[in-house]
Amino acid sequence: MQRVLLASPRGYCAGVERAVDTVERALRLYGRPVYVRRQIVHNSHVVRDLEALGAVFVESVHDVPEGSPVVFSAHGVSPVVRATAARRGLLAIDATCPLVTKVHTQARRYAQAGYTIVFIGHAGHEEVEGTMGEAPDRTVLVETPAEAATVELPAGPLAYITQTTLSVDETREIIAVLRARFPRIEGPAKDDICYATTNRQSAVKELVDEIDLLLVIGSRNSSNSKRLVEVARAAGVDAHLVDDAREIDERWLDGVGTVGLTSGASAPERLVAEACDWFRARGVGEVVEHRPVAEDVVFKLPVELRRAERSAA
């Protein structure tokens, strides 16, 4: 093996930065413990790091002692969860990514206007559960082009929205199928798939012609990380998802000249650095970034946290 090419951009997006920073600052403000509903982002290393600082991850707001601080994860929550937290007197801090919040807002507006909503997403994902909770009686989940071709929808106005971490190409295919079947279906003025998901998939597409293997650093439950593997495989390049360098199988490198390396939007950059060191320790001298691209998106911290910090100052 001769070299490693690093995809750019990769790793943390603005929503993940905001969510992780929210938990860390809440711990400084309130002390241990600060409760977090579900994983703050889908990365096992991030979760363990925050647990070491005093975060306690719970499945339900019912698991949080009354009156305690609780952070809602970057994936968002349903109105039922918000209402339950308020009823139990919890100090809720909403770290939902603003781009996910935008999709929630779209769902509410469409539902209030009497639309049936086709939600393109993956069943069981926290983002999907939270968004569908905005209008559960008016929302139909579609996961694949095949489902789009057969889904039965009631008469009346139709609209579609999407999960923010999907495959760009497959989502376009699903939308095309829906538009062919339901020409008057409406959709958002701008794609719901977030800038970071789109940029990371584009970076892999630019990389595939120059590599023999792609390694994606990300946890198994990270939707956007899994999509990066799919993008490479769709282009005919072998690809694997690894949580960190310890999961790299040296057998994958047999006959490989160039490895591409990227990371999902919830994976810390230190994991990429550790993977680079793993390759250098095995004699790879050329580890270079492929066409560096900078992202300058920044989101403000949750308003509840900013207010609490001002009050405590």
Domain ranges of the chain: 3-12+195-289, 14-96+299-312, 99-181
Q: What is the mean pLDDT of residues 198-223?
A: 98
- C-alpha to C-alpha distances, 185 to 19, 64, 155, 157, nearest whole angstrom: 34, 41, 11, 7
**117: number of Cβ within 10 Å:** 25
Q: What are the DSSP E strand ranges found in the chain?
A: 3-6, 34-37, 55-58, 69-72, 91-94, 116-120, 139-142, 158-162, 213-217, 238-242, 258-263, 286-289
Both tokens of residue 229? 């593997």
* pLDDT tens string 124-143: 999 999 999 999 999 999 99
Q: How confident is the model at residue 313 (pLDDT cuts 50, 70, 90)?
A: confident
Token pair listed for 99: 């781009």
Taking a C-beta distance cutoff of 8 angstroms, is the pair 71, 23 a contact?
yes
Give backbone dihedrals phi and psi of 93, rounded to 5 degrees, phi first: -120, 120
Segment holding 147, helix H or strand E: helix 145-150
- What pLDDT digit, counting tens, does each position of 28-74 carry? 999 999 999 999 999 999 999 999 999 999 999 999 999 999 999 99
**pLDDT, tens digit (0-9, with 9 covering 90-100), for 152-204:** 999 999 999 999 999 999 999 999 999 999 999 999 988 899 999 999 999 99
Are both 3-12+195-289 and 14-96+299-312 of the same fold? no
For residue range 266-283, list pLDDT tens digits in order: 999 999 999 999 999 999
Q: Which of 9, 1, 4, 2 is nearest to 205 (CA)?
A: 9
User: Each residue of 16-45: b (16+ CB within 10 Å) or e?
Assistant: bbbbbebbbbbbebbeebbbbbbbbbbbbb
Active site residues: 127
- Can you read off the two tokens belonging to residue 11? 């790793």
Phi, psi for 170 (deg, rounded to 5): -65, -35
Q: How far apart are CA 270 and CA 240, in angstroms?
A: 19
Torsion angles phi and psi, residue 164, rounded to 5: -85, -10
With 0-12 / 13-18 / 19 or more C-beta atoms within 10 angstroms meaning exposed / middle / buried, residue 123 is: exposed
* 137 class by beta-carbon count within 10 Å (0-12 exposed, 13-18 middle, 19+ buried): exposed
Question: What mean pLDDT is predicted for residues 221-236?
Answer: 98
Is the pLDDT reported for residue 1 higher than 80? no
Say if strands 213-217 and 238-242 run parallel, antiparallel, or are unpaired: parallel
The kind and range of the H/E element at 104 are helix 98-112
Q: What's residue 125's pLDDT?
A: 97
Which CATH number does the domain 99-181 belong to among 3.90.1200.10, 3.40.250.10, 3.30.70.260, 3.40.1010.20?
3.40.1010.20
Q: How far apart are CA 212 and CA 208, in angstroms?
A: 8
Instruction: For residue 13, name the pLDDT band (cuts at 50, 70, 90).
Output: very high
Distances (CA, A) of 288 to 2, 3, 80, 285: 11, 8, 47, 10
The domain defined by 3-12+195-289 folds into Cobalt-precorrin-4 Transmethylase; domain 1 (3.40.1010)
pLDDT at 222 over 80: yes
Q: What is the pLDDT of residues 87-119, one digit of tens each?
A: 999 999 999 999 999 999 999 999 999 999 999
As a whole-number percent, the residues of the chain with pLDDT over 70 amount to: 100
Average pLDDT for 222-228: 98
Percentage of the residues of the chain whose pLDDT score is greater than 90: 98
This prediction's pTM: 0.96
Tell me the fold of 14-96+299-312. Answer: Rossmann fold (3.40.50)
